[in-house]
A and B are shown apart, each in its own frame.
Chain A
Amino acid sequence: MHNYDIIIIGSGPGGYTAALRAANEGKKTAVVEDRKIGGTCLHRGCIPSKTMLQHAEVLHQVEGSAAWGIETGDVSFSYTAMLERKEKVVSQLEAGITALMKKGKIDVFPGRGSVNNEKEVTVEKEGQTERLQAPAVIAAAGTSPFVPPVSGLRETAHFTSDTIFEKRELPSSLLIVGGGIVGVEYACLFAGLHVDVTIVEMQEDILTGEDKDASALLRRSLEKQGVTVETGAALHDVQTKKQKAVTVVYTRKDGSREEIDVDDVLVTAGRKPNNAVLEDTSVQYVDGFVRVNENMETSVTGLYTIGDLAAGGWKLAHAASAEGITAVEHACGLKPSIHKSLIPRCIYTFPEIAAVGMTEEEVQQRGYDYKTELIPLQGNGKAMAMEVSDGFTKIIVEKKHGEILGAVLAGPHVTEMIGEPAAYIHLEGTVDELASMVHPHPTLLESLYEAARSWIGKGIHH
């Protein structure tokens, strides 16, 4: 039995951040990981897809650059080389995290971990078991792609975000099951690499739960990129009938039945929690996710759950990191040094969508007296220079005190810009302060300033 101060099961952005924070407090820390250090985010999620999206974006720009007087001749690309670069980025980051773990004297136990109510952790690897114990254990085992029970789907060869880059050749056509954040990102990525993409989404809209103006804009933009978007559609059957092709049958929103042949099927229909890690505990669940208090502690004292496993909160990498810091600080008896309630939401599509705070729907439900201001990017000098046609900045502001309740940005690289409205909300600056702050020109972010000025009735251009 190895004794530690804190044991963390899982080394994704939640787990490894928690481990580094614990080491930082001088705690004897162990991490259990049955795959590679870095978790889904680094190996099968955020980082690989963002690297590949970067490739698609550059390709798109190069292909469109003739109109700007840039002569390239015929443009071609190597998907394999793109994958290799992606793997290089991932391994560099993995090496970085591994070095940080080493520096923090954090012991890494490879193997599958599970915990019991006594906070004993069992690590299993190739039939061998090791036992660890600590007064505080953090379960950060994350989630795995969920494959819905559609006739033939589970039996037919299909990809998930875990496996999509394992195939080294680019398909010529791709069906994406699910139009949530992950689905639309892969749709942009593959459409950008000239794959014929179809999204089949059961809900009435893509990106349900996100701002309606943003999802409408993204839908138009996807269609402009040649993506077929079928919402309110039901997937019936997936079969391998022909050589090298998957036949997919679905019903359109209007009731008509469609049968198409595609090279590959990518399932992005949500994720299911890796609860096995907590099987031997008496923690409580809410809709399949672990019930936690504001310190991320479960109903078992000293046992914490963070990230995708925990009920409530956003299933996003940076949310998991913030929760990891919260859990460790609580376990160390410290005051929390991070506010985990305000989580910016970033969608890496073309155009990107970034939002923070409440959506307009949520503001309505909570009964706020509010007013929105939406400034399109058309007419913005920097946007024109970049030849951007799709995008806007929207602020949702409470009327009495000018409290900024939410902000939504759509446009190129807006994920880099959401930090400004987020900072205003975090520091409780109101629309008046936002409108009184000089913004640099020319920038896309001027539209945020315009929105604020316009909201207070002192708009310059709007």
Chain B
Amino acid sequence: MAKEVFMPKLSSTMETGTILQWMKNEGDPVEMGEPVFEVMSDKINIEVEAYEEGFMLKKYYNVDDVVPVNTVVGYIGEKEENVPDTPPESTEDSESDAASEPEQNEPAAHGTESSSVRQVERGQIRATPAARRVAREEEVSLSDVTGSGPKQRVQQQDVRDFLQNAPKPPKATPLARKWAEDQNVDLNTVEGSGPVNKIYTKDLSAAQEETVSSEPDRIPVKGVRKVVADRMAESASTVPHVTLNSDVDMTEAIRLRSQIQDKVVEQTGSKLSYTEIIMKAVAAALKRHPSINASLSSDQQEILLHRDINIGLAVATEQGLVVPVVPSAGEKGLTALVKESKQLAADARNQQLNPQQMQGGTFTISNLGMYAVDGFTPIINQPEAAILGVGQMKETPTARNGNVELRPLTTFSLSFDHRIVDGAPAAAFLTELKQMLEAPYELLM
């Protein structure tokens, strides 16, 4: 009988997963342990492996589809077996099973008993179901076990051998664990001074003093870092970028901000920042320049002119760059923009964004104005057509009506994808944006 392939629940907070790629097409033979598809959660990318041998009978979702956890995404079974044309409703049972399953460090078998797949951390652990069961029961991380089976697959006996030989994990105080994680100290290398060699923070500083070396710190490229790395490399190498710079006189924008600041604070509890004024102006300018609010279709055969104006905001977090999206920014007033962008930025910094909040962007703003940066060449957030970089506001001597005056200028840098749009329309958009910000009262109308 055909077995379901489920969208795995990889963490207690995960509600949906995004399919990054299918490794198998419908009709392809599938061996046990082979990766079937790759999924991205808000935290991690995981390859999902087949639990069964057979053929890929059905795939219900495409790449980039966002699928709720424990949803059937496909079937593996015998050739010619019948499977439903549409994904079956996930049953109450499977939901409650998954929900009651404790979160585990080790991505072990999740989902229901009949699930035909298991998840494997990208390109790593291959293990037999029996090995996984023992590992789960004994709380062993499979990544620590050397597999003796074919393709280094971990067998049950490997886990048992590991348990016999493994040194007990080091005992450490909660504070010492946080320090170690923060400072990238391997607790196994630290000698604890407490009872039963428990590690205290002072032991960490002693260990660090001992191991001062010229070796660089090594940080694995994974999670958000991996996503940023891949997307930036792809965009920079495939998209013909052109960057246009323009200095915008922010005098009137400053005045507007100070005049309505109190009202905004009263209504939203948050302060109006230039980012939101710029976002409002960008949305208005995009309305008049639809060719910029565009993207390239995935087969690169069509240009998509978007009706909605969904503006992404580049936010720096401890984990790396994320771009939450303010949907329908063109339809929203300043107070709504303030509320939403403040909330999104806070969620981003607290790692509480869900994947939907980072999707559907049609244009991105990257504001580095809080730093000593005048202008820069932002890299386009694919598949969007353009991105706006915003530099610092700086008192600059400016020629005005035959005199030199000090005016607060900000350099706006617009990078556009020359495959989608040409220089003239991009320049027209940037000019319009500049004019809007220099006479921003029309934004309020």
Please give the residue numbers on chain A whose beta carbons come within 8 Å of chain B beta carbons, in ascending order. 400-403, 427-430, 432-433
Contact = CB atoms under 8 A, between A and B. Distances in A.
B182 A429 contact: no
Contact of B182 (A400, A428, A430): A400
Interface in B149-174: 173-174
A402 to B, nearest CB: 7
Interface string B183-204: 0000000000000000011000
B-side interface mostly: helix
Contact of A402 (B176, B178, B200, B201): B178
Interface in B30-75: none
Closest 7 CB pairs of A and B: A428-B173, A428-B175, A401-B178, A430-B174, A429-B174, A430-B175, A433-B174
Interface residues of B, number: 9
Interface in B196-216: 200-201
B179 interface: yes
Interface of B: 173-176, 178-179, 182, 200-201
A248 B173 CA distance: 56
Contacts of B179: 401
Nearest to B350: A457
22 contacts: A400-B182, A401-B175, A401-B178, A401-B179, A401-B182, A402-B178, A403-B175, A427-B173, A428-B173, A428-B174, A428-B175, A428-B176, A428-B200, A428-B201, A429-B173, A429-B174, A429-B175, A430-B174, A430-B175, A430-B178, A432-B174, A433-B174
A421 to B, nearest CB: 14
B178 to A, nearest CB: 4
B185 to A, nearest CB: 13
A432 B201 CA distance: 17
Contacts of B182: 400-401
Given A430-B175, A432-B174, 9 more contacts: A401-B175, A401-B178, A401-B182, A403-B175, A427-B173, A428-B175, A428-B201, A429-B173, A429-B175
Contacts of A428: 173-176, 200-201
B197 to A, nearest CB: 13
A42 B201 CA distance: 37
Contacts of B201: 428
Contacts of A433: 174
A368 to B, nearest CB: 14
B276 to A, nearest CB: 25
A432 to B, nearest CB: 7
Contacts of B173: 427-429
A432 B178 CA distance: 11
A32 B173 CA distance: 42
A434 to B, nearest CB: 10
A429 B178 CA distance: 10
A402 B177 CA distance: 12
Contacts of B175: 401, 403, 428-430
A338 to B, nearest CB: 12
- Centre residue among B175, B179, B200, B201 by max chain A CB count within 10 A: B175
Nearest to B172: A428
Nearest to A337: B195
A400 B179 CA distance: 9
A430 B200 CA distance: 13
B152 to A, nearest CB: 37
- Centre residue among B174, B200, B201 by max chain A CB count within 10 A: B174
Nearest to B181: A401
Contacts of A400: 182
B103 to A, nearest CB: 15
Contacts of A427: 173
Contacts of A429: 173-175
A47 to B, nearest CB: 32
- Centre residue among A401, A402, A427 by max chain B CB count within 10 A: A401
A402 B182 CA distance: 13
A427 B171 CA distance: 12
Contacts of B174: 428-430, 432-433
